[in-house]
A and B are shown apart, each in its own frame.
Chain A
């Protein structure tokens, strides 16, 4: 199958890559870019382990062909921390003990990010709906809910701090 040249931005960096029409975005991210934080669970869009943010939207990267990402802006789990400094959502997951085996967590954190972009203080229903595409087989979800609530508080505090400084 012939090669296709695509361009996209991933975690803030511009990339040009050769790929093929039968390569999934998931394979491009893991095998070609070696960003292995994005996981493959079911390969059929049902588990959410392969979740990435594409053009601002949560997507299952196993259900996107690499050429479909031409021109897109992508964020994977590797792109949400600021260098060595963890993102507040990552901190919150650690502090609440919301991580057990960890396989679902990259997708879970990106889904949490989208929930908290809309609302720093989501209720339980909003959280459930927001992570309904992400399956966790270890935690029973309760600590993940707690982590997302805590992360919302952290982000809310940071945000109000920023507003204060600007004034």
Chain B
């Protein structure tokens, strides 16, 4: 008990030190509202293990439905303006972790350079969910069905993880360890998502399969990104990533050698669909059976290839 009191006192003093000189900031030992990343990291290094980081709350508050009182402390990121910025640089785009799905959906730059990401964001939940839910939350929550994850992997996103002591860039494919499990440590914050700008001749397709259009956790998703040469003749690079078919979002790398260096006319779409079907490891759950997901994976791979081929052909005309 004595120790507990000491701990409380420590937290209170700590809170006070952060609230000095600011108006309208609610801060006590159960609810932190830092103004800067630096303050956030200070709070995390002190209380990281016992604190819940609150971004949009659209996953977290569902997870803690009926047991909100069990959460000891909240760290609310809403006042950190820089975490909401979406900025384009010469060679890459930086998306703040607190950018909402609505922001991703309506940003003209994201629509232009990363249409698959923008479409995936537009397919999430409902207006109410998209207005609150964030890209950072979608990543950190690490649901196998997280809608933004396959597009982020397909566009070779890197995640900036920052702690009080250091920061690092992690490729999306190294970030996810399993359902709801990532390499993020309790003293780290995901601050930015960095996407290399694709060439002009890059095309993509996004397919989400679920039982209804709105407010559905995906049964299966697929993001395909294809980079063509200048003349839209030869495929220079390709990435196909799927969600809800494995413990983490996955890239099917086996298709690369069958596609890169070729023209669309030379591709056997059925064979490529079959490879995707063979390489995924879905489970039976309430949203669909293993067999269903395998069948559908093959079909949506074929559909996505057809869509991308059409976009490329249109661009030539």
Residues of A within 8 A of B (CB): 1-2, 4-7, 20-24, 43-46, 48, 51, 57-60, 62-65, 67-68, 70-71, 111, 114, 129-130, 132-134
Contact = CB atoms under 8 A, between A and B. Distances in A.
A133 B212 CA distance: 12
Nearest to B126: A133
Q: Which of B24, B26, B54, B73 has the most CB of A within 10 A?
A: B26
B76 A68 contact: yes
Contacts of A129: 127
Given A24-B61, A63-B58, A58 B128 contact: yes
Contact of B69 (A2, A22, A48, A67): A22
Contacts of B57: 63-65, 68
A65 B54 contact: yes
Interface string B123-157: 00111110110000000000000000000000000
A21 B24 contact: no
Q: Which of B31, B58, B76, B215 has the most CB of A within 10 A?
A: B31
27 contacts: A4-B26, A7-B24, A22-B69, A22-B71, A24-B61, A43-B66, A44-B62, A45-B62, A45-B126, A48-B126, A51-B128, A57-B102, A57-B132, A58-B127, A59-B131, A63-B61, A63-B129, A64-B57, A65-B54, A65-B61, A67-B74, A67-B76, A111-B127, A132-B126, A132-B213, A132-B214, A133-B126
Given A48-B126, A133-B128, A21 B31 contact: yes
A36 B186 CA distance: 39
Interface of B: 24, 26, 28-31, 33, 54, 57-58, 61-62, 65-66, 68-69, 71, 73-74, 76, 78, 102, 125-129, 131-132, 213-215
A71 B24 contact: yes
Contact of A45 (B31, B78, B125): B125
Contacts of A48: 126, 128
A24 to B, nearest CB: 7
Contacts of B128: 45, 48, 51, 58-60, 63, 133
Contacts of A21: 30-31, 68, 71, 73-74
B28 A4 contact: yes
Contacts of A130: 127
Contacts of A4: 26, 28, 30-31
Given A21-B31, A133-B214, A133-B215, A1 B131 contact: no
A70 B54 CA distance: 14
Q: Which of A2, A23, A63, A70 has the most CB of B within 10 A?
A: A63
B129 A60 contact: yes
Given A22-B69, A44-B65, A2 B29 contact: yes
Contact of A67 (B26, B65, B71, B215): B26
B305 to A, nearest CB: 27
A43 B66 CA distance: 9
B127 A114 contact: yes
Contacts of B61: 24, 45, 62-65
Nearest to B79: A71
B4 to A, nearest CB: 15
Given A4-B30, A46-B215, A48-B128, 18 more contacts: A4-B26, A21-B30, A21-B74, A22-B68, A45-B61, A45-B62, A59-B132, A60-B58, A65-B68, A65-B76, A67-B26, A67-B31, A70-B33, A71-B24, A132-B126, A132-B214, A133-B128, A133-B129
7 tightest Cβ-Cβ pairs between the two chains A and B: A133-B126, A132-B214, A22-B68, A57-B131, A133-B128, A60-B128, A22-B69
A68 B79 CA distance: 10
B215 A132 contact: yes
